[in-house]
Amino acid sequence: MQEEKRVPIHEKIWEDTINEFKSQENQSYNSVQVAVESEYRRRVKAYMGEDVPAFTDEGEYITTHQKENRDKFLNKMRSNGRLPKTDK
């Protein structure tokens, strides 16, 4: 099984975090990465709430494409009579 790449979910918040980040002199790549990720996570929680995942590998996360595929599948199953016509 292929491991999923860790990607920020909220692109605009990520872009703002990157654009506003000021690195310090002689700061290592790893420390910059940690600082940016922690600031991004802080902003996501501040703007959207504590339960919202910041990256694709955290918690319950579904992409738009996955939701569309799931909806198509459910509609197909409903039209075949294998599922009730409405969700409860």
Q: What is the model's pLDDT at position 33?
A: 94
Q: How many CB atoms neighbour CB 8 within 10 A?
A: 19
Asked whether residue 3 carries a pLDDT value surpassing 80, the answer given is: no
What mean pLDDT do residues 59-80 have?
80
Which structure tokens are listed for 69? 């595929």
Instruction: Determine the Cα–Cα distance for residues 11 and 45; give it in Å rounded to an integer.
Output: 14
Tell me if 7 sits within 8 A of 40, measured CB to CB: no
pLDDT of residue 4: 64
> Alpha-carbon distance 79 to 85, whole Å?
8
pLDDT per residue as tens digits for the range 5-35: 788 989 999 999 999 999 999 999 999 999 9
| Neighbouring C-beta atoms of residue 39, cutoff 10 Å | 16
